Amino acid sequence: MSATIGSPLDRVEGKRKVTGDARYAADFPISHVAYCVPVVSTIASGRIKSIDSMPAKQSSGVLAIITRENCPKINRTRNDFGSWTKMGEARLPFEDDVVHYAGQYIALVVAITLEQAINAASLVKVEYEEKTPAVEMDDALEAIYVPKGMGFGAVNYERGDAAGAMGGAAYRIDANYSTPVEHHNPMEPSATTAVWNDGDLTLYDSTQWVMGARNSVADMLGMDRERVRIVAEFVGGGFGCKGFTWPHQVLAAIAARAVERPVKLVLSRQQMFSACGHRPETRQHVGVGADGEGRLLAIGHDTISETSTVDEHAEMCGVTTPYLYACPNIRVTHKVVPVNIATPTPMRAPGESPGLFAIESALDELSWLAGIDPVELRLRNYAATDPGKNLPFSSKHLRECYELGRDRIGWSERSPALRSMRDGHSLIGFGMATATYPGYRMPGAAIARLHDDGTASISSATQDMGGGTYTTMAQYASSILGIPIESVRAILGDSRLPPAPVSGGSMTTASVMPAVHAAAEAVLEKLARYAVDDKASPLFGKKAEELVADAGRLGTKDKKISLSYGEILRGLKLARIEAEGHVQAGDEQKHYSFHSFGAQFAQVRVDTDLGVVRVSRMVSVFDVGRLINAKTVRSQALSGITQGIGMALMEQTLYDRRNGKVVSDNLADYLVPVNADVEQIEPFFLDIPDPYINAVGARGVGEIAITGVAPAIANAVYHATGIRVRQLPITIEKLIEPGK
């Protein structure tokens, strides 16, 4: 029986993962492989006066040491999305002798064994001309500027007169909120294995974008893109840090060519903190004004975030503000400050996640000031259409999310007074916040194949980072082809397959599944045409468009004549047939605003003696369009909500202000939630198809799950304790000594 769309099916790749058969970038059995270890800067600002690599060259097993003195030319790319390419930072590896941040690549050691490479890297002696770095934003505020942005929303936005309307508000909130530097820390570190063969390059790479990596690496090396192949069968998490091309990928290719043998470069956990991006620190000022009934009159949302001195990344915290609520007067601004730390990059819901912490905390403060229930306040300001674009939403059921979440968490049993709910030594608090993320989609393609043994395959150059793309591709193809999911093989993670976009921006499902749909339908149409044209077939002379595909068979509507797919192909003496589907956004983007919405409800316990916060319960309700697989989408929600708990209570990257080095560059000092930190999470999905976004009716779910979690927890902590924490993470010190 074919798979049903939305069914909670087990992962088709699950057995391979639990048995160790799934191969990640560093797992491919490449013979004669050598190992690369980067030498990185130990200062954050200055110049390299000299590099003495002789002691390293003379150590055992060393094959090559690559520096700016002997590195072949690397080309600068367009660094954009339009050419299916994007570098992690615009500065090229070994571009000059200037040091911009601690951890910057300054040399690469290649040796026969990993241990020999590590030892040799430690022997490379670097002499610097050191300058005092600007590590924190306060050190470089004089260099603040308005960024170009990354295409995720307007850098500055204004409608009405926010300043003027604020003056007439009955209730006003004026507050500053901040979020720290956070790092992605996927389970699998970034890694690349490079193999050259007759001038062709294959990279076994841990990437969220096989097509982007192929194009970037090819362009940087001055190669024909078709001569570069990226393979990423499985990716052990990314959250954004593997979305673009970083120095290790192109340097691995250069090293393999230099030593004329395959090489492997795996970043250490410490290098993951300086070599492939992070979520930047943000400082946000929010002003909110409302009338006596709690209806919004004005919102001002100003963000300053850090960027590096070698590239620009703007954390667009205000992108949700123009459309989130019905408010006639809005002002949004973004500025960046260049500092001597590595270049930031998108991290799960970039902009939306830290931005909603500020906006949803301010809305909660407004609800307490006006004496209006937090849910009711949001309902009074419900935006039925997108006020930012002046367009109808393609599909919006946020009201139902509020109502279901409120009922499921028992909001009516919540005592509205601060510090009024107790359980032994713990104060109990309830909080909520809105969740939202855009419904992005990009061009995607897939090939469907029918084989004479009755099986099928579906292939696309997309990636599976653990979200279940193997399963959803097979499940969707199974439903269209009408054959069991066990008979469908999903093939992905290879740049030689039909192109697909980055697995970021929650766009994989919305971009790839319509292509799977189109390819599966096209191959059935092709099979029908072949069948009716075959004089030896019982279906000869029938009208192809009138044939019906069902349960792996093709036949007439009355079912008097029916042949299996395999019978038709064998009759034609064909081992297989194939068809490609290619889809892209159309004019619907001009007529509708595409967004997913949700409601996050949190219940917390705060120890009155120790100030320890425990999230005892999360109830989250999402409207993300049609579900492809209820089980994998639930897993996505659990992961995003868990990451949101980390954002609220634990995660922050600390730097030594003197030298720019990351202090918390390990998983002992950089805290992420573990099982003991995660109690009861209850995600719900409305499963209402979006009629306009694509033929599937599905939007993405990877990022909306984290949005709204941190403010919901912060709002719950305020209800429990009466202490408003506006600076994440919510640590014990901020509750025991509020204001510090």
Write the DSSP assignment of 417-459 as a string of letters. Answer: STT--EETTEEEEEEEEEEEEE-----EEEEEEEETTS-EEEE
Is it the case that residue 569 has pLDDT exceeding 60? yes
User: H or E stretch including 298?
Assistant: strand 296-308
Cα angle for residues 218, 219, 223 (degrees, 5° grid): 50
How buried is 82 (Cβ within 10 angstroms: 0-12 exposed, 13-18 middle, 19+ buried)?
Answer: exposed
Average pLDDT over the chain reads 96
296 contacts: CB under 8 Å, gap ≥ 6: 288, 289, 290, 325, 326, 327, 381
Give the model's pLDDT for residue 141.
96
For 709, counting Cβ atoms within 10 Å of its Cβ (0-12 exposed, 13-18 middle, 19+ buried), the class is buried
Location of structure tokens 């425990």: 614
Q: Which residue has the tokens 């000022």?
A: 285
Give the pLDDT confidence of 396-407 residue by residue, as tens digits. 999 999 999 999
Q: Which two tokens stand for residue 614?
A: 């425990």
| 82, pLDDT greater than 90 | no
How far apart CA 198 and CA 193 sit, in angstroms, is: 17
**Average pLDDT, stretch 87-108?**
96
What pLDDT score was predicted for residue 78?
83
Compare 180 and 586 and report the one with higher pLDDT. 180
Can you tell me the distance from the alpha carbon of 383 to that of 491, in angstroms, rounded to the nearest whole number? 41
Our answer to whether residue 703 is catalytic in this structure is yes
Residue 1 confidence (pLDDT): 57
**pLDDT of 740 above 50:** no
Q: Quick one: how far is CA 438 from the chain centroid?
A: 13
Report, as an integer, the average pLDDT of 554-580. 96
Per cent of the chain over pLDDT 70 is 99
Task: Give per-residue pLDDT as tens, 20-64.
Answer: 999 999 999 999 999 999 999 999 999 999 999 999 999 999 999
Return the sign of the alpha-carbon dihedral for residues 153, 159, 165, 167: positive
Give the confidence band of 2 by pLDDT, cuts at 50, 70, 90: confident
Report whether 181 contacts 279 (CB < 8 A): yes
For residue 304, give both structure tokens.
């300053």
For 641-669, the pLDDT digits (tens) are 999 999 999 999 999 999 999 999 999 99
Tokens of 452: 């004479």
Q: With 90 as the cut, is the pLDDT of residue 452 above it? A: yes
Q: Residue 739: its pLDDT value, please?
A: 54
Query: What's the number of CA atoms in the CB half-sphere (13 Å) around residue 117?
Result: 26
* Residue of 283, 405, 339 whose CA lies nearest to 712: 405
CA–CA distance, 16 with 375 (Å, rounded to integer): 45
**DSSP at 160:** S
The confidence band for 83, taking pLDDT boundaries of 50, 70 and 90, is confident
Choose among 311, 300, 351, 408: nearest CA to 104. 311
Structure tokens at 726: 């506006």
Q: Per the structure block, which two tokens stand in for 235?
A: 């990716």
Domain boundaries, the chain: 14-21+442-584, 34-132+187-237+242-273, 282-440+590-736
Nearest to 701 by CA among 630, 620, 596: 596
Q: Is the predicted pLDDT of residue 525 greater than 80, yes or no?
A: yes
Look at residues 33, 22, 499, 515 and name the one whose alpha carbon lies nearest to residue 260: 33
In whole angstroms, give the CA distance from residue 634 to residue 125.
51
Closest to 463 measured CA to CA, from 696, 692, 210, 634: 210
Write the pLDDT tens digit of every residue in 394-437.
999 999 999 999 999 999 999 999 999 999 999 999 999 999 99
Residue 688 exposed, middle or buried by CB count within 10 Å (0-12, 13-18, 19+): middle
Span of 100-104, 160-164, 272-276, 559-563 with lowest mean pLDDT: 559-563
In this structure, which topology does domain 14-21+442-584 adopt according to CATH?
Answer: Aldehyde Oxidoreductase; domain 4 (3.30.365)
Task: Please tell me the distance from the alpha carbon of residue 190 to that of residue 26, in angstroms, as a whole number.
Answer: 9
Q: Do domains 14-21+442-584 and 282-440+590-736 have the same CATH topology?
A: yes
Residue with the bigger pLDDT between 150 and 13: it is 13
Q: Tens digit of pLDDT for each residue in 281-324?
A: 999 999 999 999 999 999 999 999 999 999 999 999 999 999 99
539 token code pair: 């279906």
Please state, in angstroms and rounded to a whole number, the distance separating the CA atoms of residues 667 and 512.
34
34-132+187-237+242-273 CATH choice from 3.90.1170.50, 3.40.50.1000, 2.40.30.40, 3.30.160.40: 3.90.1170.50
Average pLDDT over residues 121-127: 98
What is the predicted pLDDT for the residue at 738? Answer: 63
Question: Is 172's pLDDT higher than 60?
Answer: yes
Question: What is the spatial distance between Cα 60 and Cα 411, in angstroms, rounded to a whole number?
Answer: 67
Q: Does domain 282-440+590-736 have CATH number 3.30.365.10?
A: yes
Q: 204: closest CA among 33, 468, 16, 24?
A: 24
> So what's the pLDDT on residue 241?
98
Residues sharing a CB contact under 8 Å with residue 420, sequence separation 6 or more, in sequence order: none
Q: Which residue has the tokens 């029908």?
A: 528
- Residue 737, pLDDT above cutoff 80: no
Residue 187 CB-density burial (10 A; 0-12 exposed, 13-18 middle, 19+ buried): exposed
Q: Which position among 69, 703, 733, 737 bears the catalytic label?
A: 703
